[in-house]
């Protein structure tokens, strides 16, 4: 993964959310956003740059507690404050994944089959950018959590005298 542009280029192109990342690169989301935007291929970067008027960054501070504000943008790119508590590679994969949806022009609420297709396309795009290992890590997480949930239910049933 070779960097193709620096923070100054992101700022000049209007793609760096200064108002949301007042601590700049001292946050996991900032680090992840910086990495993904500087590594993605030029053609995909230009797609995002061309859509700067159509979307708005939303990177709320942890203390906001779910507070939201009205927006006039067609699309909001939301990066949860919970990413600050995740491993850096997970934050990078999530940020890359959300930006992949943007470069692909995906829409929300198109139905189950359409959603599955869009998810697969976004996964492929993130892998093209060199984040395949990171993506696999976040894809494995729900499976582990689901397995833990099953084990907890079995243990609870046994303690309650059920099978």
Q: How far is CA 161 from the centre of its chain?
A: 43
In a domain, 103, yes or no: yes
Q: Is 66 helix (H, G, I), strand (E, B) or coil?
A: coil
**CB within 8 Å of 83: residues ≥ 6 apart:** 28, 29, 32, 90, 91, 94, 95
Predicted model pTM: 0.77
Q: What total number of domains does the chain contain?
A: 1
Q: Tell me the per-residue pLDDT of 55-81, one tens digit each, with 9 for 90 and over.
A: 888 888 777 766 667 777 778 888 888
In a domain, 153, yes or no: no
| Chain mean pLDDT for the chain | 79
In a domain, 163, yes or no: no
In a domain, 20, yes or no: yes
Segments forming the whole domain that contains residue 48? 7-138
Q: What are phi and psi of 112, to 5 degrees?
A: -55, -50
**Helix or strand run (H / E) with residue 78:** strand 75-78
Cα→Cα distances 2→40, 137, 161, Å: 9, 21, 58
């Amino acid at each position: 993964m070779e960097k193709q542009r620096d923070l100054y280029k992101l700022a000049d192109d209007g793609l760096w959310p200064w108002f949301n990342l007042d601590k700049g690169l001292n946050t996991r989301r900032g680090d992840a956003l910086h990495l993904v935007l500087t590594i993605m291929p030029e053609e995909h970067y230009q797609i995002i740059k061309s859509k700067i008027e159509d979307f708005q960054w939303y990177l709320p501070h942890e203390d906001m507690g779910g507070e939201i504000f009205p927006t006039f943008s067609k699309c909001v790119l939301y990066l949860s404050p919970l990413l600050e508590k995740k491993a850096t590679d997970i934050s990078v994969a999530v940020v890359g994944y959300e930006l992949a949806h943007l470069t692909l022009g995906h829409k929300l609420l198109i139905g189950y089959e359409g959603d599955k297709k869009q998810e697969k396309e976004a996964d492929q795009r993130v892998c093209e950018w060199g984040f395949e290992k990171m993506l696999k890590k976040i894809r494995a997480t729900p499976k582990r959590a689901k397995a833990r949930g099953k084990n907890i239910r079995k243990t609870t049933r046994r303690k309650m005298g059920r099978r």
